[in-house]
Amino acid sequence: MEHLPCEKILLADSLGIKLQYCKKCEVVELELGAITIRLSPDSIQRIANIMMKGSLKLDKVNQHVQSHTEPQFLH
């Protein structure tokens, strides 16, 4: 089988986090700074869901600890 060069499509890019899709490899790459995680396209929906659930839960947990703080992003 011929090895074709990667054809990456940028899906999302925010705060140094990039999500790219390679049509040739059929792989989604999640770039977190120096770390790149390769995922199957059908698993990113599940990962997005679990991140969303976790994020909402974390908000609730933090609301009990500190009530009036602005949400902060880690750099």
Tokens read off for 25: 């490899």
Maximal C-alpha separation, the chain = 59
State which residue, 36 or 62, has the beta carbon closest to Zn ion: 36
Of 27-66, which residues contact Zn ion (CB under 5 A)?
none
Select from 6, 9, 50, 58 the one that contacts Zn ion (CB under 5 A): 6
* Residue 16 beta carbon to Zn ion: minimum distance, rounded to whole angstroms: 22
25 binds Zn ion (CB under 5 A): yes
Select from 11, 22, 30, 39 the one that contacts Zn ion (CB under 5 A): 22
Tokens read off for 8: 């990456």
24 binds Zn ion (CB under 5 A): yes
Burial pattern 49-69, b for ≥16 Cβ within 10 A else e, equals eeeeeeeeeeeeeeeeeeeee
